[in-house]
């Protein structure tokens, strides 16, 4: 057996780094708050840069504020890339994204320390705003050339802060993201390690998921606008109550998915804001989010129309104005079959049990797949909990996933 096949990551070191990153932006009661370009994200970026530099890798930051550690980089040979994100949802867990970045860093550091030479350069990346403070996948979409000046000028978070201002707060110019585009010739392949964020691997007690496809989604910011009025004097039949419109719509979601979706379709209203928000005033306006997902692009199109028609009909019937903005649209993605086979064959060699699966969560790999051959490795999530402080993966499973990532990247880098 050659020396590289024996290489294994340092599990203790990886555990220590995951634990340290988890303390950055941590709110004792409510999980981790590292929304993109927030104070927590800034602190995490600084920490990661120091860790990359201390690992003997070359540090690089592109125009979209994606952070890279590079090994054997020569600027011409196509590289093998791994990575994920270190931003979180509000109240997020310690592994969503962070695992892929820190396991990638540990893999590159292990290879660097071993003195094993690869034919191709290796890169680990932390992509900006994967979680969607400003829509989602900003950094990896910039890498894939999917960001336009309009995207940048129109990106605003739910509190009205613009992307331009949020990045300026970190001394960055959002328009520089237009320069982050990578030529497909600069990349050989990409593999992202991530927690499953669903219950399948944990329930079936399988160590690793090999991802064959990733769901598509659309995310809307919706407004129903009626008339605020006195809660005591306005007869029920004479109200234009925005919340009643939302309640009727929420009650139709199951039916819309049954009639127009597939077994994989899901829809979520995850944020609601009532205005003016007083107990004795009929709510004149409701702002809410709608997140709809399916792995089939035709079904996603049909759901887009069905949800729009349902909201229009409710608006007409209840005399509410209906408006929506498309905050994000991500196409369903097929992973590269050769990279999928490479992961599965490597797992077989390492005697790791695997299962093929479709990801219901969105991932940076969806952007990567637009420019290079890309696939993903999943490790189990305890009880499928994620986007929550209850997120957990056993350290043993993390080590298994990281070693599979190491051996897969070594093979890809020597193809
Ligand atoms: C990302 O975490 C998503 O699937 O929304
Ligand atoms: Mn993630
Ligand atoms: Mn997430």
| Segment 23-45 mean pLDDT | 94
Work out which ligand 1 atom sits closest to the CA atom of 215. 4
Whole-angstrom distance, CA of residue 380 vs CA of residue 392: 9
Confidence at residue 28, expressed as pLDDT on a 0 to 100 scale: 78
Q: Is the dihedral of CA 161, 165, 171, 175 positive or negative?
A: positive
Whole-angstrom distance, CA of residue 392 vs CA of residue 383: 8
pLDDT exceeds 80 at position 29: no
Whole-angstrom distance, CA of residue 363 vs CA of residue 380: 16
Q: pLDDT grade, residue 2 (50/70/90)? A: confident
Q: 362 CB less than 6 Å from ligand 1?
A: yes
Distance, CA of 280 to chain centre: 40
% of the chain exceeding 70 in pLDDT: 100
Contact 404, 208 (CB under 8 A): yes
How distant, in Å, are the alpha carbons of 87, 217, 366 from that of 136? 11, 11, 11
pLDDT in tens, 194-212: 999 999 999 999 999 999 9
Confidence at residue 171, expressed as pLDDT on a 0 to 100 scale: 97
For residues 277 and 359, state if they share a domain: no
pLDDT in tens, 239-253: 999 999 999 999 999
For residues 207 and 244, state if they share a domain: no
Distance, CA of 337 to chain centre: 22
Between strands 281-282 and 229-230, the pairing is: antiparallel
3-state secondary structure of 222: strand
The CATH number of residue 398's host domain is: 3.40.630.10
Q: Pocket of ligand 1, candidates 31, 98, 363: which has the most ligand atoms within 8 Å of its Cβ, to mutate? A: 363
| Segment 146-158 mean pLDDT | 94
Ligand 1 centroid vs 70 CA: distance in angstroms?
26
Ligand 2 centroid vs 195 CA: distance in angstroms?
8
Q: pLDDT grade, residue 16 (50/70/90)? A: very high
% of the chain exceeding 90 in pLDDT: 96
Domain boundary among 274, 298, 330: 330
3-state secondary structure of 406: helix
End-to-end CA distance of the chain: 17
Please report which ligand is nearest the Cα atom of 137: 1
Whole-angstrom distance, CA of residue 383 vs CA of residue 201: 9
Ligand 3 centroid vs 250 CA: distance in angstroms?
23
For residues 210 and 321, state if they share a domain: no
pTM of structure: 0.92
DSSP code of residue 156: B
Contact 187, 194 (CB under 8 A): no
Domain boundary among 292, 311, 330: 330
Whole-angstrom distance, CA of residue 5 vs CA of residue 349: 10
What residue numbers bound the domain in which 118 lies?
2-215+332-413
Q: Pocket of ligand 1, candidates 32, 88, 131, 384: which has the most ligand atoms within 8 Å of its Cβ, to mutate? A: 131
Ligand 2 centroid vs 318 CA: distance in angstroms?
39
Whole-angstrom distance, CA of residue 314 vs CA of residue 324: 14
Please tell me the total count of domains within the chain.
2
| Segment 364-385 mean pLDDT | 98
Q: pLDDT grade, residue 119 (50/70/90)? A: very high
For residues 204 and 128, state if they share a domain: yes
Q: Pocket of ligand 1, candidates 361, 366, 381, 386: which has the most ligand atoms within 8 Å of its Cβ, to mutate? A: 361
For ligand 1, atom 1, the nearest C-alpha belongs to: 362
Confidence at residue 36, expressed as pLDDT on a 0 to 100 scale: 98
Q: pLDDT grade, residue 30 (50/70/90)? A: confident
Confidence at residue 1, expressed as pLDDT on a 0 to 100 scale: 55
The CATH number of residue 317's host domain is: 3.30.70.360
Ligand 3 centroid vs 387 CA: distance in angstroms?
6
Q: 361 CB less than 6 Å from ligand 1?
A: yes
Query: Which stretches of 7-97 are DSSP H helices?
Result: 11-22, 39-54
């Amino acid at each position: 057996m050659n020396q590289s096949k024996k290489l294994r990551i340092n599990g203790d070191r990886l555990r220590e780094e995951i634990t340290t990153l988890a303390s950055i932006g941590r709110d004792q009661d409510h999980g981790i708050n590292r929304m993109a370009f927030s104070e927590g994200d800034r602190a995490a970026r600084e920490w990661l840069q120091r860790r990359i530099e201390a690992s003997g890798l070359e540090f690089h930051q592109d125009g979209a504020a994606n952070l890279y550690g590079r090994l054997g980089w020569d600027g011409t040979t196509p590289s093998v890339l791994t990575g994920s994100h270190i931003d979180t949802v509000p109240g997020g867990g310690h592994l969503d994204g962070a695992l892929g970045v820190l396991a990638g860093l540990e893999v590159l550091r292990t290879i660097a320390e071993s003195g094993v030479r690869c034919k191709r350069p290796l890169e680990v990346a932390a992509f900006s705003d994967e979680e969607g403070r400003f829509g989602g996948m900003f950094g990896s979409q910039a890498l894939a050339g999917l960001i336009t000046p309009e995207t940048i000028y129109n990106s605003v978070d739910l509190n009205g802060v613009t992307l331009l201002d949020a990045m300026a707060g970190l001394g960055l110019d959002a328009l520089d993201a237009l320069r982050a585009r990578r030529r497909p010739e600069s990349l050989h392949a990409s593999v992202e390690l991530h927690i499953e964020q669903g219950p399948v691997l944990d329930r079936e007690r399988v160590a690793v998921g090999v991802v064959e496809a990733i769901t598509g989604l659309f995310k809307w910011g919706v407004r129903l606008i009626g008339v605020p009025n006195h809660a005591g004097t306005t007869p029920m039949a004479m109200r234009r109550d925005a919340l009643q419109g939302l309640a009727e719509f929420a009650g139709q979601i199951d039916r819309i998915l049954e009639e127009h979706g597939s077994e994989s379709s899901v829809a979520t209203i995850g944020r609601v804001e009532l205005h003016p928000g007083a107990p004795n005033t009929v709510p004149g306006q409701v702002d809410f989010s709608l997140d709809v997902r399916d792995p089939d692009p035709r079904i996603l199109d049909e759901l887009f129309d069905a949800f729009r028609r349902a909201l229009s009909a409710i608006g007409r019937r209840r005399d509410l104005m209906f408006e929506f903005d498309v905050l994000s649209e991500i196409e369903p993605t097929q992973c590269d079959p050769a990279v999928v086979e490479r992961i599965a064959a490597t797992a077989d060699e390492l005697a790791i049990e695997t299962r093929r699966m479709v990801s219901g969560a969105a991932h940076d790999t969806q952007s990567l797949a637009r420019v290079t051959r890309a696939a993903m490795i999943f490790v189990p999530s305890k009880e499928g909990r994620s986007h929550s402080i209850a997120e957990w993966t056993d350290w043993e499973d993390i080590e298994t996933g990281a070693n599979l990532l190491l051996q897969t990247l070594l093979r890809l880098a020597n193809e």
